[in-house]
């Protein structure tokens, strides 16, 4: 996926042209993964020519909480981050869907991985982004041979960069084997999540997803989908999901800021349900896309509308 980034970024406390946002190869975060990140989408609505940022408050809050989980200090509050994000979007004035990447990192060049007494540096950039993974084709998944890194080793809720080696290995396994994505199991063999997505299954008229105890990232899309299910009177079970339950599911789908809501066609080459998008997934997917783009007025509290210059 190659996409041209937008012209301006935020770096070292200022808004600068992206090409001026450069770091030394000695940077601690580059050497040891001592950093964490976020990922936010904003959707362009062609009808009213405005951009809708999706759940910016929740993303800023999670970002600030990542610092807490790692025991480091951030130079900005959630509301400062909110302001920086909005200002950068306005400076870049997009007329397309975008993805924003806030990034907090250990910017010193000292030897040795250490987060003690650390104030993180902060950077933000944005790129145009349509699909990260296909949402209408039906994904083919593989159960990874790599186990999901446990919360007791790296706090999985912190979106810590170093932990994403685990995701990258699983993703490589999927790509090398000709699959779209990998699902990682916990050490006890139960399902955790995808390399950068939460997973849901549908059995009968029940929606099921691994509980927060299952070494997952507490996805903001996951939370939104649970809310949409509840709005429609669909029960959501957040619980332990044994691996075998996946193959017995009527429907399986993935959620995430990147992948949005994407249905799954097969897992380990075994076709899920009828081999086409199921009715519950289809209805949640439509509702989600209509809400994020501001086509459906529901959950207006999830959208921050920006009128951009023409």
Q: Which two tokens stand for residue 286?
A: 């439509």
Size of the site for ligand PMP (CB under 6 A): 14
221 binds ligand PMP (CB under 6 A): yes
- Interatomic CA distance for residues 224 and 197, integer angstroms: 13
219 binds ligand PMP (CB under 6 A): yes
Residues 191, 196, 208, 280: which binds ligand PMP (CB under 6 A)?
196
The C-alpha torsion from 154 through 155 and 160 to 163, rounded to 10°, is: 30
Residues 32-71 that bind ligand PMP (CB under 6 A): 39
- Taking the complex as a whole, the smallest distance from the CB of residue 301 to ligand PMP amounts, in Å, to 17
**Part in contact with ligand PMP (CB under 6 A); list of ranges 130-138, 219-227, 262-270, 302-310:** 219-227
Q: Which two tokens stand for residue 235?
A: 């029960």
Q: Please name every residue paired with 10 in a beta bridge, in sequence order, or none if there are none.
A: 15, 124
Bridge-based pairing of strands 50-54 and 14-17 is unpaired
141 binds ligand PMP (CB under 6 A): no
209 binds ligand PMP (CB under 6 A): no
Residues 97, 180, 197, 214: which binds ligand PMP (CB under 6 A)?
197
SS3 of 126-159: EEECCCCCCCCCCEEEEEEEEECCCCCCCCHHHC
By beta-carbon proximity to ligand PMP, the closer residue of 120 and 196 is: 196
Is 159 noted as a catalytic residue in this protein? Answer: yes
- Interatomic CA distance for residues 117 and 136, integer angstroms: 47
Which run of H or of E encompasses 228? helix 220-231
Residues 35, 198, 266, 304: which binds ligand PMP (CB under 6 A)?
198
Q: Quick check: 221 and 256 in contact, CB under 8 A?
A: yes
- Taking the complex as a whole, the smallest distance from the CB of residue 258 to ligand PMP amounts, in Å, to 6
**Part in contact with ligand PMP (CB under 6 A); list of ranges 235-243, 249-257, 276-284, 302-310:** 249-257
Which is it for the CA torsion 119, 86, 167, 30, positive or negative?
Answer: negative
By beta-carbon proximity to ligand PMP, the closer residue of 20 and 290 is: 290
Q: In which residue are the tokens 């790599």 written?
A: 146
List, by residue number, the catalytic residues.
159
Contact footprint for ligand PMP (CB under 6 A): 39, 167, 193, 196-198, 217, 219-222, 255-257
């Amino acid at each position: 996926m190659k996409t041209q980034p937008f012209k301006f970024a935020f770096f070292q406390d200022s808004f600068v042209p992206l090409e001026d946002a450069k770091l030394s190869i000695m940077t601690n975060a580059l050497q040891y993964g001592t950093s964490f990140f976020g990922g936010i989408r904003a959707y362009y609505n062609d009808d009213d020519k405005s951009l809708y940022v999706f759940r910016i408050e929740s993303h800023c809050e999670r970002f600030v909480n990542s610092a807490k989980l790692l025991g480091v200090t951030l130079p900005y509050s959630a509301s400062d981050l909110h302001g920086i994000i909005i200002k950068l979007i306005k400076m870049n004035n997009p007329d397309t869907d975008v993805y924003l990447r806030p990034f907090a990192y250990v910017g010193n060049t000292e030897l040795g991985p250490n987060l003690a007494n650390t104030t993180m540096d902060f950077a933000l950039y944005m790129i145009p982004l349509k699909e990260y993974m296909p949402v209408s084709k039906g994904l083919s998944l593989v159960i990874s041979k790599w186990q999901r890194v446990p919360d007791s080793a790296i706090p999985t809720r912190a979106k810590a960069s170093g932990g994403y080696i685990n995701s990258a290995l699983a993703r490589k396994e999927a790509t090398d084997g000709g699959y779209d994505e990998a699902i990682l199991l916990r050490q006890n063999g139960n399902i955790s999540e995808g390399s950068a997505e939460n997973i849901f299954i549908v059995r009968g008229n029940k929606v099921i997803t691994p509980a927060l105890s299952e070494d997952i990232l507490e996805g903001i899309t996951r939370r939104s989908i649970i809310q949409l299910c509840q709005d429609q009177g669909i029960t959501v079970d957040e619980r332990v999901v044994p691996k075998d339950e996946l193959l017995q599911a009527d429907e399986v789908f993935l959620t995430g800021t990147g992948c949005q809501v994407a249905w799954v066609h097969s897992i380990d080459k075994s076709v899920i349900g009828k081999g086409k998008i199921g009715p519950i997934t289809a209805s949640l997917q439509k509702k989600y896309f209509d809400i994020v783009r501001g086509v459906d007025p529901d959950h207006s509290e999830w959208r921050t509308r920006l009128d951009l210059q023409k």
